Amino acid sequence: MCQVEVNITQGFDSDEKRLPEKERESLTKSLNKFVHNAKNGLFPKKLFRRKGVVFPNDINKGDSSLYMLNATESLCVILAFDNDSLFQQKIITLFRVVNKSQAVEAFNSTASLIYN
């Protein structure tokens, strides 16, 4: 079992605070399961990049650690999932939580902030 560090950005925190209590509870449960699986070396099946996602500056998609996670039926989390082999840990950075209908736009916006 490896260590997992979870970083929460101001954007994610702000998005989460706007959610109704029931959605926050479902999101927390989903994220806890995601972190547990990461600790056990399991790459989550719900972690993906959607078609239509554009990486700025012609970045090679294989070099990016930015993903979307289907957290609940209606919510998608934009996050970075990095493997730090030097310290034998995985680092998860939570950038945004949005409705699935806004996921591609939020992903592209986050990618632009990170890679530009």
| pLDDT tens digits, one per residue of 22-64 | 999 999 999 999 899 888 877 666 666 555 555 444 444 445 6
Number of domains present in the structure of the chain: 1
Task: Place 73 in a pLDDT band, splitting at 50, 70 and 90.
Answer: very high
**By residue range, what is the domain housing residue 43?**
3-115
- Say if residue 1's pLDDT is above 80: no
CATH of the domain at 111: 3.30.2310.20
| Nearest-angstrom CA–CA distance, 59 and 57 | 5
Predicted local distance difference test score (pLDDT) of residue 64: 60
Is residue 103 predicted with pLDDT exceeding 60? yes
Q: Residue 95: what are its φ and ψ, rounded to 5°?
A: -95, -45
Q: What is the pLDDT of residue 56?
A: 46
Q: According to the model, what pLDDT value does residue 48 have?
A: 64
What is the structure's pLDDT at 57? 45
Global confidence as pTM: 0.84
- Grouping H, G, I as helix, E, B as strand and the rest as coil, residue 26 is helix
Nearest to 114 by CA among 75, 73, 80, 71: 80
> Tell me, what's the pLDDT at 113?
85
